[in-house]
Amino acid sequence: MANVGGRQRGPRRVTRARPLGDLIGASLERACLKRGFAAADLVADWPDIVGERYAGRVQPIRLDWPRGADTPDAEPKPATLVVQTDGATALLLTHDMPQVIERINGFFGWAAIGRIRILQRPVTPPRSHAPPKLRALTEAEEGRLADRLEPLKGSRLGDALEKLGRAVIARSSQG
């Protein structure tokens, strides 16, 4: 300890800047856990999970996990996903509920959701900005992209890579 001006100070600590993503990620995880979401990915990937039809019209609110057995070997029981939507969309969602549950469970990789509870409330619009409009790809660019993605055609990975490829090509070259 150093004696500076009559005060004793501890050893100097070197602090390093932390990436903003690390700080926000921890806060988001805590907020999601408080609302019942074990993984923030469900909220972040919601539009991709439920599809275009429900992306802006249905919002996940929380996951209600049932009280389970205290033993770690016990099979986890499926949760209830609570969502909010308007009345007309609630009717459509009720009809498509088995498919939506299947898509959500496919996202998790196990039967995490057993049922969906619908709250009929107005949906708050998302705060994010729309992505910039991208130019259309030329036939040559379309062909090169399709050739590169041929082995992955029809898979979720192939679809994601095609979307990424289109954005990269459209932004990198100007017609």
The total of other beta-carbon atoms located within 10 Å of residue 42's CB is 19
Question: Any idea what DSSP says for residue 151?
Answer: G
Compute the distance between CA of residue 63 and CA of residue 61 in angstroms, rounded to an integer: 7
- Identify the band that residue 37 occupies on the pLDDT scale cut at 50, 70 and 90: low
Global pTM reads 0.52
Report the distance separating Cα 81 and Cα 101, nearest Å: 9
pLDDT tens by residue, 146-155: 999 999 988 8
Asked if residues 41 and 34 have their Cβ atoms less than 8 Å apart, the reply is no
- Tens digits of residue pLDDT in 47-98: 999 998 998 899 999 888 888 655 566 677 888 999 999 999 999 999 999 9
